[in-house]
């Protein structure tokens, strides 16, 4: 069963296209990472899925229903980010009870244990929490609600290192205990790459690529060596990123087209071959140009 | 995986109680507003004076009118407030759609109207006690009978609810475009000077009198219910298309 | 600028301004209140409201001079009409302010004069069927404000008989301030009661005389006689 299906999804704000004919689908019970640069349309997409905003054109179905203004969708999909709003008059512990009343699959036990683990004061109010604590609390709501589709949009904003790690562990453990579809959008791909099964990379409001994370790891590799040699080796390849490290040394990332002999050729030519860290790869994939920030400072 | 359907009525009920809790502090403002109104009422809301050669009679009249008027304005402010973005976003933290959100809002406003009206009508008694205790023991009044009391609360509730529906509508318009924040007050104050001819009352006064001078209870209820339903329906259908948490 | 104009602009204007003040208040208020304060406020305020509602019936019945709103006697016109038609016997005792009785009056004529502030006094005269040589005078309050009889506040006319002259002494000019509580406007709208409802009378008091049947009255200007049949 497909949890999300969307085709040619377009969303325009005034004249700016946030999403531009985006098409993809997400299978049931998978943890999908939504990756993209700032302004790529991640949040817009997630809010359309959550039913907060309406697509301008195209089609989207979540659990085979249109999500906008759909009560069922609202009950099955929870969208967690650091802007979730809670009343300033209801203390935290009671907020958990309110959430429990709304979500049929709510796991009180989990909520309470997380609440205590992160040492929340039951009597304090949501608006008094620090940024990190806010994110942590929202995360608890997101996890404990056990919605069939749980969306975390930049869930770790403001969290410190250890809380972030705890969060990912909690997410994974609860996912194993109660499989459901989860979409994670994060800037810190390196942190979540062990968690993800699928990656959906969007660029300029379009799906750039969507594949299992294991494939993405072999999507490209890097070559580093003498300018001429590297140029020779990569002339028939799709270059993702190119950088001159020194006057005669070039670093190039190319798409893996599956040719085996490149490895040997490279070794003969004294060119180093290395895998590309996923987070780097995603950054390069979503760059506008083939060069990096260095290009700005290279005068020639 | 089979997904359970979500019941609209149950959702509305949950949202309503959530709203009631979330907006509880608005009642502090109501109390403040009513106390202020009581203070203004201590001077009497009307007075008359007449005399003959041997007697000069000054009469001062005391009512809870100011309290009710202030309660109406408070309700108007309340209704506008719950259409604002923070309040709508609050609904969308949990299970909702726009329809359930609007229904819960209307139920909330209905509650607010009844509670506010009860307080306003009861404050009439407080006013009498204050006048008797602190101002003048020579004080003529008749106790409001149960019938008058119930009538007072229900008619005031009708008024407050209607004002809520207008406030809700105004708030909705403002959500469409902030241009209305300038346009609507300008329209209101402008209409004070808008008259069919120099000797006649401003149109807005006629609108007030349309309800205030209706002496048939049935007609009054019909007028109020239609007006209220109209404003709530328009607002709900506008809000139904509105995007949230942008 | 006529009054209708002033009132009809002034009230909505005031409402508009109050609205703006409340908007500002609502914004500021949120900063100072929290849930606990709200519950306390609600608890105390509703407590006070209920308490005063419990007190009000008592202050109305005991200490406040609250008269029964006996509809048949309320209107002053009715009271005077009743007085001229049926005589004093049918008038509620509460309107009688003062009673004076003068015995053994043997003269055939009686001069009636006024003294004091009131130069015009209305006098009802009833001829007795039996001759007991007595002149009886009653001061009757006809002042009813908004359904409330304020006879307790009025200083009654004083009637004196000396030689063959009856003098009605009206008191010094009285200043009476009264406070009246009215139901709020949503109630008034349907009971038809208006906030200021004063049946202004020319006469706040009248004098009622019972005289022997053959006595002749000689009155000075300013006294308006009315004989009961």
Higher-pLDDT residue of A26, C153: A26
Q: Is the pLDDT of residue A178 over 70?
A: yes
**Could you tell me which of C134, C104, C101, C110 has the C-alpha nearest to residue C219?**
C110
> Region A230-236: what's the mean pLDDT?
81
Most confident of A38-42, B101-105, B241-245: B101-105
Lowest-confidence segment of A41-55, B202-216, B229-243 by average pLDDT: B202-216
Cα distances (Å, whole numbers) of residue C42 to B30, B65, B81, C37 = 10, 21, 21, 9
Contact C171, C116 (CB under 8 A): yes
Interface check for A166 against chain B (CB to CB < 8 A): the answer is no
Query: To which H or E segment does residue C135 belong?
Result: strand C135-141
Helix (H, G, I), strand (E, B) or coil at B89: helix
Mean pLDDT of C42-53: 94
CB of C45 less than 8 A from some CB of B: yes
Helices and strands (DSSP H and E) totals, chain B: 9, 3
Mean pLDDT (whole number) for A99-120: 94
pLDDT digits (tens, 9 = 90+) for B87-99: 889 989 998 999 9
Alpha carbon distance A243, A97 (integer Å): 55
Q: Which chains touch A (3 or more CB pairs under 8 A)?
A: B, C
Percent of chain C beyond pLDDT 70?
Answer: 81
CA distance B28 to chain A (A): 13
Q: Judge whether C126 is closer than 8 Å to chain B, CB to CB.
A: no
Q: What is the DSSP string of B141-208?
A: --PPPHHHHHHHHHHHHHHHHHHHHHHHHHHHHHHH-TTHHHHHHHHHHHHTT--SSTTSPPHHHHHH
Among B131-145, B151-165, C204-218, which range has the highest average pLDDT? B151-165
Residues 29-68 of C with CB under 8 A from A: 30, 34-35, 38
- A125 Cβ neighbours under 8 A, 6+ residues apart: A88, A89, A90, A91, A92
Q: What is the pLDDT of residue B198?
A: 67
Mean pLDDT across the stretch A192-215? 88
Q: What would the mean pLDDT of C154-167 be, rounded to a whole number?
A: 84
Domain boundaries, chain B: 8-47+57-176+214-239
Q: What is the pLDDT of residue C66?
A: 43
Lowest-confidence region among A243-247, A279-283, C2-6, C225-229: C2-6
Domains of chain C by residue range: 3-63, 71-227
Cross-strand partners of B182: none
Report the DSSP beta bridge partners of residue A274. A222
State the ipTM, two decimals. Answer: 0.86
Per-residue confidence (pLDDT) for residue C69, from 0 to 100? 47
Whether residue B94 contacts residue B35, with contact meaning beta carbons closer than 8 Å, is answered with no
Residue C67's pLDDT band (cuts 50, 70, 90): very low
Express each pLDDT in A29-61 by its tens digit. 999 999 888 888 899 999 999 999 999 999 999
**What CATH number was assigned to the domain covering residues A2-216?**
3.40.50.300
| Each residue's pLDDT tens digit, B12-31 | 999 999 999 998 888 988 99
Say what the pLDDT of residue C198 is.
Answer: 61
Residue A229 sits at φ, ψ, to 5 deg, of -60, -45
Q: Is B117 helix (H, G, I), strand (E, B) or coil?
A: helix
Q: What is the DSSP string of B28-44?
A: HHHHHHHHHHHHHHTT-
Nearest by CB to A74, from B18, B86, B95: name it.
B95
Q: In chain B, which residues have their Cβ closer than 8 Å to the Cβ of A146?
A: none
Candidate from A131-135, A144-148, A194-198, C98-102 with smallest mean pLDDT: C98-102
d(CA B229, CA C179): 41
A218-297 topology per CATH? Alpha-Beta Plaits (3.30.70)
Q: What is the pLDDT of residues B146-177, one digit of tens each?
A: 888 899 999 999 999 999 999 999 999 999 98
pLDDT at A48: 94
Burial class (CB in 10 A: 0-12, 13-18, 19+), A244: middle
pLDDT of residue C62: 39
- Whether the pLDDT of residue C190 is over 70: the answer is yes
Reported confidence tier of residue C8, pLDDT bands at 50, 70, 90: low
């Amino acid at each position: 069963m497909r949890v999300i299906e969307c085709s040619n999804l377009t969303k325009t704000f005034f004249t700016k296209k946030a999403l531009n004919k985006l098409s993809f689908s997400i299978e049931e019970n998978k943890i999908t990472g939504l990756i993209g640069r700032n302004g790529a349309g991640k949040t817009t997409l997630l809010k359309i899925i959550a039913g907060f905003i309406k697509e301008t054109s195209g089609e989207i179905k979540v659990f085979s229903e249109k999500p906008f203004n759909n009560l069922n969708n609202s009950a099955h999909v929870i969208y967690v980010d650091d802007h979730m709003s809670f009343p300033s008059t209801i203390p935290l512990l009671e907020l958990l009870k309110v959430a429990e009343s709304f979500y049929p699959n709510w796991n009180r036990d989990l909520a309470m244990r997380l609440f205590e683990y992160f040492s929340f004061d039951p009597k304090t109010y949501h608006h008094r929490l620090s940024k990190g604590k806010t994110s942590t609390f929202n995360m608890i709501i997101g996890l404990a609600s056990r919605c069939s589709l749980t969306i975390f949009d930049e869930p770790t904003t403001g969290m410190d290192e250890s809380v972030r790690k705890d969060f990912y562990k909690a997410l994974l453990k609860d996912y194993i205990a109660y499989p459901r579809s989860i979409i994670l959008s994060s800037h810190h791909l390196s942190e979540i790459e062990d968690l993800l099964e699928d990656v959906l990379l969007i660029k300029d409001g379009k799906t750039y690529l969507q594949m299992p994370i294991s494939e993405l790891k072999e999507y490209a590799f890097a070559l580093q060596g003498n300018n001429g040699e590297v140029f020779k080796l990569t002339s028939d390849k799709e270059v993702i990123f190119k950088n001159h490290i020194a006057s005669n040394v070039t670093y190039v990332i190319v798409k893996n087209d599956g040719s085996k002999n490149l490895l040997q050729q490279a070794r003969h030519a004294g060119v180093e071959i290395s895998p590309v860290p996923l987070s780097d790869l995603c950054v390069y994939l979503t760059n506008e140009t083939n060069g990096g920030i260095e290009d700005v400072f290279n005068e020639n | 995986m089979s997904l359970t359907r979500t019941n609209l009525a149950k959702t509305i009920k949950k949202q309503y109680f959530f709203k009631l809790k979330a907006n509880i502090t608005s009642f502090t403002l109501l109390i403040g507003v009513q106390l202020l109104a009581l203070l203004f009422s201590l001077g009497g809301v009307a007075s008359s004076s007449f005399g003959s050669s041997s007697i000069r009679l000054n009469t001062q009249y005391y009512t809870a009118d100011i309290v009710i008027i202030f309660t109406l304005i408070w309700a108007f402010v309340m209704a506008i407030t719950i259409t604002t973005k923070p309040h709508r976003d609050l609904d969308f933290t949990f299970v909702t759609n726009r329809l359930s959100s609007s229904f819960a809002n209307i139920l909330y406003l209905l509650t607010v109207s009844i509670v506010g009206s009860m307080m306003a009508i009861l404050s009439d008694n407080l006013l009498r006690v204050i006048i008797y205790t602190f101002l003048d023991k020579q004080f003529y009044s008749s106790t409001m009978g149960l019938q008058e009391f119930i009538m007072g609360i229900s008619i005031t509730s009708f008024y407050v609810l209607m004002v809520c529906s207008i406030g809700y509508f105004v708030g909705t318009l403002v959500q469409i475009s902030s241009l209305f924040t300038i346009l609507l007050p300008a329209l209101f104050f402008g209409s004070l000077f808008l008259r069919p001819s120099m000797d006649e009352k401003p149109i807005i006064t006629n609108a007030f009198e349309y309800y205030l001078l209706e002496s048939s209870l049935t007609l009054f209820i019909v007028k109020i219910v239609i007006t209220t339903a109209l404003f709530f329906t328009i607002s709900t259908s506008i809000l139904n298309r509105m995007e949230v948490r942008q | 600028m006529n009054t209708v104009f002033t009132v009809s602009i002034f009230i909505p204007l005031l409402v508009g301004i109050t609205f703006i003040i409340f908007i500002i208040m609502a914004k500021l208020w949120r900063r100072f209140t929290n849930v606990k304060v709200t519950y306390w406020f609600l608890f105390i305020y509703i407590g006070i409201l209920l308490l005063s509602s419990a007190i009000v019936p008592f202050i109305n019945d005991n200490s406040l001079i609250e008269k029964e709103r006996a509809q048949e006697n309320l209107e002053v016109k009715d009271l005077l009409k009743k007085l001229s038609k049926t005589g004093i016997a049918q008038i509620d005792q509460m309107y009688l302010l003062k009673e004076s009785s003068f015995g053994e009056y043997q003269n055939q004529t009686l001069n009636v004069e006024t003294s004091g502030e009131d130069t015009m006094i209305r006098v009802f005269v009833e001829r007795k069927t039996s001759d007991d040589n007595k002149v009886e005078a009653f001061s009757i309050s006809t002042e009813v404000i908004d359904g409330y009889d304020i006879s307790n506040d009025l200083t009654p006319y004083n009637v004196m008989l000396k030689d063959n002259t009856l003098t009605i002494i009206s008191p010094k000019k009285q200043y009476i301030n009264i406070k009246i509580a009215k139901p709020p406007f949503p109630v008034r709208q349907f009971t038809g009661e208006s906030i200021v409802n004063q049946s202004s009378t020319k006469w706040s008091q009248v004098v009622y005389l019972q005289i022997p049947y053959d006595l002749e009255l000689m009155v000075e200007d300013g006294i308006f006689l009315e004989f009961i049949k």
